[in-house]
Structure 1
Amino acid sequence: MAVYIDPPRWPGHGRLWSHLISDRSTDELHLFARRLGDVPRRAFDRDHYDLPAERYAEALRLGARPVGSRELVRLLHVSGLRRRKRWSPRPAVGPGGGGDVGRAPGPGLRP
């Protein structure tokens, strides 16, 4: 298995997180996550799993290879498994100069 994990350094929801990837297939990645146990499917984000810091040592014990974050992204690109976020265009700026697009009129705002 070729599964990799970067150090838990990404903050979110009051915790630090690692990214778990496979350089072979998402099927391999999902299989590894099942082996870890108790990894919710919602932790999967397009091409990786977000794992909390307290799961890092366990992932290593099960065979995940530690790599830096840049190397992790490079491995995803080389494997062809990288799935970037698709950004939607920002809404047009409203008549009030922004911030009022789609909001109901209130004090100081006109319809």
Structure 2
Amino acid sequence: MILIDPPIWPGWNRVWSHLVSDESYEELHAFARKVGIPERGFDRDHYDVPSDKYDEVIAAGATPVPTRDLVRRLIASGLRHRKGT
């Protein structure tokens, strides 16, 4: 399943969401391509999504979840890739 958290993460004069899959990186990359998120937006285990694309990504099929749930499900899937590991 593709999951997205609320756009609360500041950076580069914007706020961002995280887009993940709790199934596979292949699912995540395919979804990102489908909604026009560039590959440069991929960071270890997620895509950074600017707030202006949040509603579009949900309309395309991503499930909105609180950040805590997104992280919990990413860890449970075995796809979590922490910085430095």
TM-score by length of 1: 0.75
Q: Larger helix proportion, structure 1 or 2? A: 2
Q: Which runs of 4+ in 1 moved over 4 A?
A: none
The percentage of counterpart residues that share the same residue type is 58
Larger radius of gyration: 1
Q: Kindly state the Cα deviation for residue 42 of structure 1 after the two structures are TM-superposed.
A: 1.1
Structure 1 stretches of 5 or more lacking a match? 88-111
Q: How many Å separate the matches in 2 of 1:77 and 1:9?
A: 20
Equivalent residue pairs, number: 85
* Pairwise CA RMSD: 0.9
Distance in 2 between the 1:52 and 1:42 partners? Answer: 13
Q: Higher relative contact order by CA 8 Å / sep ≥ 6: 1 or 2? A: 2
Q: Does 1:13 align with 2:9?
A: no
Higher percent of residues as strand: 2
In 2, distance between residues paired with 1:53 and 1:9? 8
Which residue identity is paired with 2:29?
H
Counterpart of 1:34, as a letter, is: R
Q: Map of 1:30-109 to 2, 5 A cutoff? A: 30-37=29-36, 39-86=37-84
- Looking at structure 1, the residues matched to 83 and 12 of structure 2 have their Cα atoms a distance apart, in angstroms, of 20
